[in-house]
């Protein structure tokens, strides 16, 4: 089995993955409540939480499985992420590797997200992978918004990225402007239900098919100025419309760029991953787009959309050409690692 370790930001997570059976067992300690009062992730607090979390998490693993037992590899996130947080996960991996004499491997966190829509299919044989490649992937989270192509060799090429805010960040900040506490994206979706998503003409950036990039800062600014012009009574009366219109602008921008990329090349599948993949409006619109274009739609399971150790363990198995195998437990990390960087 492969032991996955994830600590790139505010989730302390472990996972055991058995490639022979496609079986995952997972343990996660979320830090959302710890950071909520600050309106975002506080790096020093995140590090201290990781320090406190990993020992009890390892105890939970040991209470269910013998260690090292059948564990043959340790896969750990080596970037991108917060430097102190990455260091904690790496230290856990190196310590376990030395104590249990198990080799460790570095996994690109973003590649873990990129492969997460395939996790529900298991490992499959080469023939089944050929049914889905080349693949167009949309990775949307609080820190990343990326549209990429994965070819038959599982090489990744970035087709579009955000020039400012990530989609998840824009939804959270929009939620904050609307009085929703951090993280606001999920609650914004709930508040938007029943609202008119065309009531306010919030901007969609880069509408042209040759402008392959994302931008959400103008959307956020537009909401700010719109709220400043409205009285409290009017905001309260039209609150659902505001939430729905803001969310719709962000999602329309994502879907438009995805559609343009899908029609510009040959793809067999469209995948959705990252924390924003939890948004049901986005999921349904991309699934509809996939049906229209005649490609398979793959989305990460809800439990695997955010940062998790299972996608790290899974990537360590299916993406072996792009792992960083260590010698003598000398692992390192890169907090600025990019999705298309195959070498650390």
H/E run at residue 47: helix 43-64
| Adjacency order of strands within the sheet including 104-107 | 23-30, 11-18, 2-6, 73-77, 104-107, 324-325
Q: Which of 36, 28, 33 is nearest to 12 (CA)?
A: 28
**pLDDT tens-digit map of 233-267:** 999 999 999 999 999 999 999 999 999 999 999 99
Confidence of residue 12 (pLDDT cuts 50, 70, 90): very high
Q: What is the dotted CATH code of the domain comprising 132-302?
A: 3.30.420.40
Residue 38: is its pLDDT beyond 90? no
Q: Which of 218, 238, 212, 216 is nearest to 227 (CA)?
A: 238
Q: Report the alpha-carbon angle 283-289-293, nearest 5.
A: 145
d(CA 225, CA 216): 15
Q: Which of 274, 339, 295, 316 is nearest to 116 (CA)?
A: 274
> What is the reported pLDDT for 128?
79
Q: Where are the domains of the chain?
A: 2-114+304-325, 132-302
> What is the reported pLDDT for 106?
93
> How many other CB atoms are there within 10 angstroms of residue 293's CB atom?
15
Confidence of residue 328 (pLDDT cuts 50, 70, 90): very low
Confidence of residue 48 (pLDDT cuts 50, 70, 90): very high
d(CA 337, CA 272): 20
**Domain 2-114+304-325 identical in fold to domain 132-302:** yes
Residue 228: is its pLDDT beyond 90? yes
What is the topology classification, in CATH, of domain 2-114+304-325? Nucleotidyltransferase; domain 5 (3.30.420)
Confidence of residue 341 (pLDDT cuts 50, 70, 90): confident
d(CA 187, CA 202): 19
Question: What integer best gives the mean pLDDT of the chain?
Answer: 93
**pLDDT tens-digit map of 181-219:** 988 999 999 999 999 999 999 999 999 999 999 999 999
**pLDDT tens-digit map of 103-146:** 999 999 999 999 999 998 877 665 578 889 999 999 999 899 99
Q: Are 115 and 315 in contact (CB under 8 A)?
A: yes
Beta bridge partners, 23, equal 18
> What is the reported pLDDT for 326?
54
State what percent of residues in the chain have pLDDT above 90: 81
Here the tokens at position 55 are: 């020992």
> What is the reported pLDDT for 183?
86
């Amino acid at each position: 089995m492969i032991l996955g370790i994830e600590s790139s930001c505010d989730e302390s997570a472990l996972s055991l993955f058995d490639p022979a059976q496609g079986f995952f067992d997972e343990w996660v300690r979320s830090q959302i409540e710890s950071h909520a009062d600050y309106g975002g992730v506080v790096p020093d607090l995140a590090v201290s939480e990781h320090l406190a979390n990993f020992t009890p998490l390892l105890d939970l693993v040991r209470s269910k499985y013998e260690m090292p037992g059948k564990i043959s590899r340790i896969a750990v996130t080596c970037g991108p992420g917060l430097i102190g947080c990455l260091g904690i996960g790496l230290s856990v991996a190196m310590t376990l590797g030395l104590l249990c004499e198990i080799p460790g491997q570095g996994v690109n966190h973003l590649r873990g997200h990129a492969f997460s829509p395939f996790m529900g299919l298991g490992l499959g044989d080469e023939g089944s992978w050929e049914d889905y490649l080349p693949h167009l992937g949309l990775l949307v989270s609080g820190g990343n918004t990326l549209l990429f192509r994965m070819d038959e060799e599982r090489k990744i090429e970035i087709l579009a990225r955000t020039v400012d805010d990530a989609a998840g960040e824009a939804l959270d900040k929009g939620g904050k402007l609307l009085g929703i506490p951090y993280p606001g994206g999920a609650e914004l979706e709930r508040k938007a239900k029943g609202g008119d998503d065309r009531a306010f003409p919030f901007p969609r950036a880069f509408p042209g098919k040759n402008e392959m990039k994302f931008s959400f800062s103008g959307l956020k600014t537009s909401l700010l100025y719109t709220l400043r012009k409205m009285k409290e009574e009017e905001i309260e009366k039209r609150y659902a419309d505001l939430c729905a219109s803001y969310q719709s602008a962000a999602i329309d921008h994502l879907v438009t760029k995805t559609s343009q990329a899908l029609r510009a090349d040959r793809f067999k599948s469209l995948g959705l991953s990252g924390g924003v993949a939890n948004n049901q409006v986005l999921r349904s619109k991309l699934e509809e787009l996939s049906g229209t274009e005649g490609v398979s739609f793959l989305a990460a399971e809800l439990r695997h959309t955010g940062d998790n150790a299972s996608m790290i363990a899974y990537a360590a198995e299916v993406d072996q050409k792009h792992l960083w195998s260590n010698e003598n437990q000398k692992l390192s990390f890169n907090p600025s690692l990019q999705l298309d960087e195959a070498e650390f």
